[in-house]
A and B are shown apart, each in its own frame.
Chain A
Amino acid sequence: MSTALKTEAGRDALGKALLDLAGQIPELVVLDADVSSSTKTADFGRAHPDRFFNVGVAESNMIDLAAGMATCGLRPVASTFAIFLVLKGAEQIRNTVCYNNLPVVFAGGYAGLSDSYDGASHQSITDLAVMRAMPNMAVVVPGDSVEVRQALDQALRRNGPTYIRIGRNPTPVLFEGAEPFKIGKIRKLRDGKDVTLAVCGVPLFMAMEAAELLAIEKIQVDLLEVSTLKPLDVETLVASATKTGKVLTIEEHSIIGGLGGAVAEALGKHAPSRMEVIGVEDRFTESGDYSALMTKYGLSVRAIREKARKLARATNP
């Protein structure tokens, strides 16, 4: 990834944030499914062994345990790799946590392609689609490690379930000292009239770079960081789409059901626009270097720039 900026991994931010919040929120408990040294919840476990529950490789069980604790007033964070959390735990997430609107925070680690060398079995590119379809669930995709910390802090104070998507690898720190993000609000990073770029998660830094390069070509990008897919900040999105009439979404996820889907659903109703979606096509991925994988599966500054340029130059009917 970029060497110019300071980098930090989302998982490291999660580990630190849990430790920081332990004192402030005495009800905070953490559960993990035998990957705590990877997800970095182990640090919390060492500091607060009575408030940490490693349940072994048993994701469904972990989620229901967390649900039981939540009914008694505890504030559980259930953490494991996103792919197993969301897919092995889908029925528990739906029928136990979401149905009862319980305040469980799901920390989906190693998300997107970030568990790059482990291959397709470990790469979570359907989690946003699944989680978005769960009633009561808030779906949050932080753009950097600073937002991971803020997302956790805010999620632990919400009255309902929250999914926070977290990456494995160091990525550029974008928001140190910036105005804190808010769950449910789009962060506007650039003002432009030619094309809207709506992006979530790790590819945000790529979109920021692409937008700068496009500005040199006199293409002015309206750059939106959509860190919350649900509830979606429809107002800000619609205002941007109404202005530009052209929207490109960018996500480290299948093109089905994630950010692109969320934006299309909203715009289809409120502001039909010409739209393109950048994400992983409907296919399985593979092992490899994270950056190489991102590029191969469509996520790069170049790909964003090209699609945005094409979209900006297209004539709206």
Chain B
Amino acid sequence: MKNDFVRLDPVSVVLEGNRSKKAAQMQRLAQECRVDVLDVLHDKGTGHWGGASSCAELVTALYFHMMDVRPEEPQWPGRDRVIVSKGHASCMIYSVMARRGYFPREELDTFRQINSRMQGHPCMNKTPGIEMSTGALGHGISVAAGMALAARLQKRKSWTYVIVGDGCLDEGQSWEGIMTAAKFKPERLVMLVDYNKVQLDGPSAEIMPMDPLPDKFRAFNWNVAPEIYDGHSVASILQSWDWLLAQSDWPAVIIYKTVKGRGVSYMENNHKWHGPPIDDTTYATARPELLKTLSELEVAQ
């Protein structure tokens, strides 16, 4: 089956209306990006579904609501920055960034192919708007802390976000970065945990238990959001940022409960869908599920 991924409106999106209307639009947009990702992964026969799907709403809301960025001037020094430490979510990042206007959406069609700007894992020197090349896990917190400290020295008010996943937090370096950030307390450094509790080889509880995560962060002297938010509800994500915007104690961390493989029933919470190719049979059942949710979101809107 040939993919249909240019079937959706290929426009860069401008959101309108009040907060709840915008939230509904972002909710729909995130689902569209899920469809993009499934289409691309199926068409190219390579890429990671599980972890990409799990951060759709978070990444969409960051780029369309929270971050002060200029897609037409990606190197604008005053911009906010996001480091996607779980670089295997690349296809989702590209899909959201394309809709935000960083590059043409058609370019997703070159994902993981030779001579492409859409590398398998994000590459800052190839893709406009990517702030740091990632892929090897465990780097993001240190890098983000460095950027936030630079903002302090340069007297910029930029925000620095780092998105981490379960596997990322297995890495010892993540905790080195966590300690370093707690020592220097760079302003507006925010860790967003895509806490889907599943990693490549199985449930995190089996592979490397991470709970109690909020207690760990508190013990490491981070300012921890008072609740765990629903990472698949844009409204809930926006609420978490209401908390964030009221903070003055840095660094801060927000944990989002998410579902690895979100959107396709038999892929959800199943580590086997971390990164296998989406074959024709899978695609034929998975895509209608995503589209059904999408049409429900349209009706709701």
A associates with B = yes
A residues bordering B, Cβ < 8 Å? 29, 50-51, 53, 55-56, 58, 60-74, 76, 91-92, 95-96, 99-101
B residues bordering A, Cβ < 8 Å? 77, 83, 123-125, 131-133, 135-136, 138-139, 142-151, 153-154, 172-173, 176-177, 179-180, 183-184
Contact A61 B180 (CB under 8 A): yes
Contact A69 B176 (CB under 8 A): no
Our pick among A61, A66, A76, A91 for the contact of B176 (Cβ within 8 Å) is A61
Collect the chain B residues with CB atoms within 8 Å of residue A29's CB.
153
User: With A71-B147, A100-B132 as given contacts, are A64 and B173 in contact (CB-CB < 8 Å)?
Assistant: yes
Among A62, A73, A99, max chain B CB count under 10 A is at A99
Distance A65 CA – B177 CA, assembled complex (angstroms)? 8
Q: Output the nearest chain A residue to B177 by Cβ-Cβ distance.
A: A61
Collect the chain B residues with CB atoms within 8 Å of residue A76's CB.
146
Contact A74 B150 (CB under 8 A): yes
User: With A60-B176, A72-B150 as given contacts, are A100 and B124 in contact (CB-CB < 8 Å)?
Assistant: yes
Contact B142 A72 (CB under 8 A): no
Contact B146 A67 (CB under 8 A): yes
Among A53, A69, A72, max chain B CB count under 10 A is at A72
Distance A58 CA – B141 CA, assembled complex (angstroms)? 13
Contact B153 A74 (CB under 8 A): yes
Q: Output the nearest chain B residue to A70 by Cβ-Cβ distance.
A: B146
Least CB distance from A96 to B in Å reads: 6
Collect the chain A residues with CB atoms within 8 Å of residue B124's CB.
71, 100
24 chain-A/chain-B pairs, Cβ below 8 angstroms:
A29-B153, A50-B153, A55-B183, A58-B173, A60-B138, A61-B142, A61-B176, A62-B142, A64-B143, A65-B177, A66-B146, A68-B83, A68-B149, A68-B150, A69-B146, A69-B147, A69-B149, A71-B146, A72-B154, A73-B154, A74-B154, A76-B146, A95-B133, A95-B135
Collect the chain A residues with CB atoms within 8 Å of residue B77's CB.
72-73
Least CB distance from B199 to A in Å reads: 19
State the main secondary structure of chain A at its contact with B: helix
Least CB distance from A66 to B in Å reads: 6
Distance A62 CA – B150 CA, assembled complex (angstroms)? 14
Distance A73 CA – B153 CA, assembled complex (angstroms)? 11
Our pick among A65, A70, A73, A95 for the contact of B142 (Cβ within 8 Å) is A65
Collect the chain A residues with CB atoms within 8 Å of residue B135's CB.
95
Contact B146 A68 (CB under 8 A): yes
Contact B142 A60 (CB under 8 A): yes
Least CB distance from A108 to B in Å reads: 19
Least CB distance from B263 to A in Å reads: 30
Least CB distance from A68 to B in Å reads: 2
Contact A95 B139 (CB under 8 A): yes
Collect the chain A residues with CB atoms within 8 Å of residue B123's CB.
99
Distance A193 CA – B220 CA, assembled complex (angstroms)? 65
Among A50, A71, A91, max chain B CB count under 10 A is at A71
Our pick among B131, B143, B151 for the contact of A65 (Cβ within 8 Å) is B143
Contact A72 B147 (CB under 8 A): yes
Distance A73 CA – B142 CA, assembled complex (angstroms)? 17
Distance A301 CA – B148 CA, assembled complex (angstroms)? 51
Distance A29 CA – B150 CA, assembled complex (angstroms)? 10
Contact B176 A55 (CB under 8 A): yes
Contact A56 B143 (CB under 8 A): no
Given contact pairs A60-B142, A67-B146, enumerate 16 new A-B contacts (beta carbons under 8 Å): A56-B176, A60-B138, A60-B173, A62-B142, A64-B139, A64-B142, A65-B143, A67-B132, A68-B142, A68-B143, A68-B145, A69-B146, A71-B124, A71-B132, A71-B146, A72-B146
Collect the chain B residues with CB atoms within 8 Å of residue A91's CB.
136
Cβ-closest 3 pairs across A and B? A68-B146, A64-B142, A72-B150
Our pick among B147, B176, B179 for the contact of A68 (Cβ within 8 Å) is B147
Contact A56 B179 (CB under 8 A): yes
Q: Output the nearest chain B residue to A50 by Cβ-Cβ distance.
A: B153
Distance A110 CA – B165 CA, assembled complex (angstroms)? 37
Least CB distance from A194 to B in Å reads: 47
User: With A95-B139, A100-B125 as given contacts, are A71 and B131 in contact (CB-CB < 8 Å)?
Assistant: yes
Collect the chain A residues with CB atoms within 8 Å of residue B138's CB.
60
Our pick among B83, B150, B179 for the contact of A58 (Cβ within 8 Å) is B179
Distance A51 CA – B184 CA, assembled complex (angstroms)? 12
Distance A92 CA – B132 CA, assembled complex (angstroms)? 12
Distance A62 CA – B125 CA, assembled complex (angstroms)? 22
